[in-house]
Structure 1
Amino acid sequence: MPLQQGGYQLSANMVPKKSKTVVEAEPMSSTIKLADLDDPVVVRVLQATALCIARLGPDKTTGDEIAKASGVSRATLYRRFDNREGIFASLLYARSIPFVAPVLKLLSGEKNIARRFEDGMVFALLEMSHDPCLNAFYTAGWAFPNLALIQSAYSHLFGDSIVPLLKTAYQQGEMRRNVPFDALMSWNMTQFLQLASQAPWEEMALRYQIRHFVIPVLIPDAR
């Protein structure tokens, strides 16, 4: 029976098909592995970890706490995950899956590129802040490995959907071309996480920040 936290249920059938095998993401300075999210034990561990993080925060959520809450041994825990950061990255990936399709739809709309980008960021930031687990990560501070594991999870999550869409816009000249695409995306992710760390936001204030301090860097001709 899936555990429920803040109105959100995590279950194996919510995971994209590509997650059937162990995959590797590439954060800035190390590799964090994402677990097999079709594994019932992994789902159970991630549900328990979400409850621990919502209660204790990421920094105080230890391997022992996770093992106790999930009812699995430490040996079983680390057979599924390399380390605590692997658990956290897998959890961030799984909890963020529901937001990919709506953001992709906003980015693929008929508005100009600047407004589509703004709408996508606003939706993601406001909706993700309502998830106690995600919000705990975002507001936990900027110390590594927090930033690295978030980037690790999201590089995989968005790599097959949102990133190709933005790369097409970049290649078509809709985005700033005098900066390499990867550097532009890395900068944008940093801005996204910085804004997320300042939640809660009022929508108009968030739109102002994105419109005046993020969009002009990504899209120099934005109006």
Structure 2
Amino acid sequence: MSRDWLADDRADLAAERILDAAARLFAEHGVTAVGMADIAKAAGCSRATLYRYFENRQAVRVAFVHRETRRIATQLFGAVGDIADPGERVVEAMLGAVRAVRADPMLIAWFRAGEAGPAGRISQDSDVIESIAAALFTSTELTEAERGRLARWLTRIIVSLLSSPGRDEDEERTMLEEFVVPLVVRAFA
């Protein structure tokens, strides 16, 4: 094991290297099959070093999901930020999120058969994901608690589309416009 791996004194860079290694393993072997020893070996560090940054494998998973959620959200907010209609903004953001995950082998691995459980649990327990999703709704008509519930519900729908896709994006768009948009619009009425 090379000592130069530890020479990096910036914890954020070391953590990023670990998350990058974990991501490759998730894509190759599946999220649930990857253990801490696998991650340490792929990252080129000792297990002790890995545990210095991440308490356990769930902590690695959560950190990875949060990192990727922030990355995708930055892209989505740029793409939907000028859409005034809340229903249209939500549909475009949700479909954009689904497209981004499907296009990335390291992300879609979380939604293969038997793998969606960890992603679903993290997405529903994550204050980071909830706050990012709630940021789609800047209207003062909704309370913070209402925005949070709406964000958790929309996140569940995104996880559902990733785990059980529609026939194609047109069908998914139609379902979102038919069933989600009326509820979002009603929330702003």
Percent identical pairs in the alignment equals: 24
Greater strand content: 1
Find out whether 1:86 has 2:44 as its counterpart.
no
1:172 to 119, 132, 141: 141
Secondary structure at the counterpart of residue 103 of structure 2: coil
Secondary structure at the counterpart of residue 39 of structure 1: helix
Between the aligned partners of 2:11 and 2:56, the Cα distance in structure 1 is: 19
Q: Render the CA deviation track for 1:174-205: whole Å, top value 9, x for unaligned.
A: xxx8x933222221111111112134863212
Task: Report if the CA contact (8 A) 2:101-2:108 is conserved.
Answer: yes
- Residue 132 of structure 1 and its aligned partner are, at CA, apart by 0.9
2:104 to 127, 131, 137: 131
2:134 to 163, 171, 188: 163
Alignment of structure 1 residues 71-220 onto 2, 5 Å = 71-139=44-112, 140-143=114-117, 145-152=118-125, 155-156=127-128, 159=131, 162-166=133-137, 168-169=138-139, 171-172=140-141, 180-199=146-165, 202-220=168-186
**Alignment RMSD:** 2.7
Between the aligned partners of 1:88 and 1:42, the Cα distance in structure 2 is: 12
Structure 2 residues without counterparts, runs of 5 or longer: 1-9
Task: Name the aligned partner's letter for residue 61 of structure 1.
Answer: V
TM-score computed with the length of structure 1 as normaliser: 0.68
Task: Name the aligned partner's letter for residue 163 of structure 1.
Answer: A
Q: Number of paired residues?
A: 177
- Residue 66 of structure 1 and its aligned partner are, at CA, apart by 0.8
Task: Name the aligned partner's letter for residue 141 of structure 2.
Answer: Q
Task: Report if the CA contact (8 A) 2:110-2:119 is conserved.
Answer: yes
Greater helix content: 2
Structure 1 residues without counterparts, runs of 5 or longer: 1-36
Between the aligned partners of 1:41 and 1:102, the Cα distance in structure 2 is: 25
- Residue 109 of structure 1 and its aligned partner are, at CA, apart by 1.6
Task: Name the aligned partner's letter for residue 54 of structure 2.
Answer: F
- Residue 218 of structure 1 and its aligned partner are, at CA, apart by 2.4
The 3 A distance-change label for structure 1 pair 151 and 211 is same
Task: Name the aligned partner's letter for residue 100 of structure 2.
Answer: E
